Structure 1
Amino acid sequence: MDTENKNQIKSYLTFKLGNEEFAAHVSKVLNILEMTPITKVPKAPDYLKGVINLRGAVLPVIDTRIKFGMPETEYTNNTCIIVLDIDVDGESVHVGAIVDSVQAVLEIDNSQIMPLPTLGSRYKSEFIIGMAKVEERFIIILNMDAIFSVDEITSIIDSNQSVDEGTDAQQ
């Protein structure tokens, strides 16, 4: 799907981390999975929980709470993994993001998205597109491509490759 078509789609998947509600453009969401056992990766960054097998491919899984500087929490029946398609320098990278719960798919028009207030934001403004007021609540709209730096994605890919190489060596 080209960028022009993506910009015309106004659908966002909303999810919760603690009491905060976030949204990701549906063009970035490939799948929503129930929590599954995660294989730890040695020497991985704190937020990289490990990898899972997704239809024969190794999928790195990050804990979104840790990535956003929130305290870790116990996983519940609502905890799930959102499989995202992240664009890094024109390369498509698939990453699983653990969230507390998925809420809904909402239609949010660009006119509903307000700029982020400059004072007191707990989150890095580089990866926030803005805030949308939907009914009586605010939803933080994320730029999923900007959440990870190139170095972090390289680290995730390197961790992924060492798991692949370990799997190849076992066969």
Structure 2
Amino acid sequence: MSETHPPAMLDVLTLGIGGETFAIEAGMVREILDLVPVTDVPGARDFVRGVVNVRGRIVPLADLRWQFGMKQTAPTADTRIIVLELELDGEATPVGILADRVHEVTQLATASLESAPRVGMRWRPEFIRGVGMRGDDLIILPDLARILN
């Protein structure tokens, strides 16, 4: 008799950006903030909106729309800043990303994740760790370390 193991599950925070549903590993999320004042940083890369002050720490704020070729839109009452802790250049680094809306914390079966399609998609496949389905919704798991480096 063989043992059956439940599929490996990944806890994720789902959020909406530019009409798409993205999933961020829940363990990377440090906090979710309402939109706060953003300070411009002269000479910053296009996708860096500026920096925000989070409990006395200066945190760069990235807008994934730039990296995914999405139309830029004005923030709304639902816009949130997701503060993440990423491993960048060998050290834990706080980074904020903008989200149009935060959906929920849920689980994705890792076995259900597939590589990003290389044809017909508007985003750059090298920025995608995987895509999966949840019901009828396509969920995109971005490679944040690659996007932000």
Give distance in 2, aligned partners of 1:54 and 1:134. 33
Q: Which residue of 1 aligns with 2:16?
A: 16
Kindly, what percent of the aligned residue pairs are identical? 36
Q: Which residue of 2 aligns with 1:65?
A: 65
Per the TM alignment, residue 89 of structure 1 is displaced from its structure 2 partner at its CA by: 2.8
RMSD: 1.5
Q: Which residue of 2 aligns with 1:140?
A: 140
8 A Cα contact 2:62 2:98, kept in partner: yes
Structure 1 residue ranges, 4+ long, deviating more than 3 angstroms after superposition: none
Of Structure 1 and Structure 2, which has the larger fraction of its residues in helix? 1
Aligned pairs, how many?
A: 142
SS, match of residue 77 in structure 2: coil
Give distance in 2, aligned partners of 1:118 and 1:147. 17
**Structure 2 residue ranges without an equivalent (≥5):** 1-7
SS, match of residue 148 in structure 2: coil
Name which structure has the greater RCO, CA cutoff 8 Å, separation 6+.
2
Q: Which residue of 2 aligns with 1:26?
A: 26
The 5-angstrom pairing of residues 5-154 of structure 1 reads 10-149=10-149
Amino acid at match of 2:49: K
SS, match of residue 43 in structure 2: coil
TM-score under structure 1 length normalisation: 0.77
Give distance in 2, aligned partners of 1:68 and 1:144. 12
Of Structure 1 and Structure 2, which has the larger fraction of its residues in strand? 2
1:67-102: per-residue Cα shift (whole Å, max 9, x none)? 322121011011011111121232111111111111
